[in-house]
Amino acid sequence: MAAASEFMNNVQDTPLTIAGKRYHSRLLVGSGKYKDLEETRLATEASGAEIITVAIRRTNIGQNPDEPSLLEVISPEKYTLLPNTAGCFTAQDAVRTCRLARELLDGHNLVKLEVLGDEKTLFPDVTATLEAAEILVKDDFDVMVYTNDDPLIAKRLEELGCAAVMPLAAPIGSGLGIRNPYNILTIVENANVPILVDAGVGTASDAAVAMELGCDGILMNTAIAAAQHPVLMASAMKKAIEGGREAFLAGRMPRKRFASASSPIDGIIA
Amino acid sequence: MEIVLNGESHTLPADCNLERLITDLQLTGKRLAVELNQEIVPRSQFTDTRLKSGDHIEIVHAIGGG
């Protein structure tokens, strides 16, 4: 009799592959909003994530030179760093930030592109995003691009040569969950590059829902960092993503309006 | 001479190169990237990059972000 584990090995998932590199974890995490670097380190470790986003900002001139830096706890030797263009409101600023990031990380060319259009919603400026994506792809960057949940724009970004397309599920930092699952589903079904939900996940069940839709992965930050216990939430997200992925591969049962007994009718004593 | 460093006015001795500025700021050996008048300056060129009055310099590093 075959063991369940043996059976599971036969239905093994193909790993997430971004720009030719394979990853075991489908959870990508941000490194912002933590209480301190120690919490960042612990939550990142608990998440099992291999790709970690970082922001590129001006060095504080005159600050204590011995102050520990993020890259000491999230080291480029251990993790794949994903510099983002968060806070950029023009294509030009986003492209500049990516070029600085590439210099900072010794030629590493994987970047997360986001060009924001509005401070209140942090929704992407889609036309500026398309413009920046085109420039960056031509400049040999591997671009993981944050966008809205518009299937046509997602396809357009793929056609421009982006390495992964990352639609929002809800506004950045809102924790509102997967607000438009049908659009996410359409984006996933149309795609030939990895689709990762970026932004909007609030708790583990949201992550599972996104994975059950067939997303290749999820990028999150606030859902972990703003939890009461970030390290525990990081672990919960890891499990939810694994569970959601397996459920997607397993294929869920059809929904029925009325009941269907799980125990046989025959042999009831009454 | 006066330059603009990370958006702020900054005074430098005359005849200063980028390497000297980085040293004076106690940033030697730190992981950073530098832009001079919106052009990236590779680390290998810091010594050969002479600064002049009115230059705009950006020095950036990686911090936590999502």
pLDDT at A131: 98
- Percent of chain A at pLDDT > 70 equals 99
Residue range A17-32: mean pLDDT, rounded: 97
* Nearest by CB: B65 against A30, A71, A104: A30
Q: Is residue B2 very low, low, confident or very high in pLDDT (cuts 50, 70, 90)?
A: very high
Rounded to the nearest integer, the mean pLDDT of chain A is 95
Rounded to the nearest integer, the mean pLDDT of chain B is 94
Q: State how beta strands B8-11 and B2-5 pair.
A: antiparallel
Give the ipTM: 0.94
Note the maximum CA span of chain A: 84
Instruction: Please give the Cα distance from A60 to A65 (Å, whole number).
Output: 10
* A221 CA: distance to closest CA in chain B (Å): 5
Which A residues, 72 through 111, put their C-beta within 8 Å of a C-beta on chain B?
A: 81, 83-84, 86, 96, 99-101, 103-105
Could you tell me the pTM of the whole model?
0.93
Residue A48's identity, in one-letter code, is: G
* Nearest by CB: B63 against A57, A61, A105: A57
Domains and CATH numbers, chain B: 2-61 (3.10.20.30)
* Nearest by CB: A104 against B26, B27, B60: B60
* Tokens representing residue A109 in the block: 């060319």
Whether A70 and chain B come into contact, CB under 8 Å, resolves to: yes
Instruction: Please give the Cα distance from A17 to A39 (Å, whole number).
Output: 28
Q: Is residue A68 very low, low, confident or very high in pLDDT (cuts 50, 70, 90)?
A: confident
Indicate left, alpha or beta for B54 from its phi (over 0: left) and psi (-120 to 50: alpha): left
In the predicted structure, residue A8 carries a pLDDT above the cut 70: yes
B29 contacts in chain A (CB < 8 Å)? none
Tell me if B5 and A54 make a contact (CB, 8 A cut-off).
no
pLDDT at A65: 67
Instruction: Please give the Cα distance from A145 to A198 (Å, whole number).
Output: 9
Query: Helix, strand or coil for residue A143?
Result: strand
- The set of catalytic residues of A is 112
Q: Is residue A19 very low, low, confident or very high in pLDDT (cuts 50, 70, 90)?
A: very high
Please give, one letter per residue, the 3-state secondary structure of B3-50. Answer: EEECCEEEECCCCCEHHHHHHHCCCCCCCCEEEECCEEECHHHCCCCE
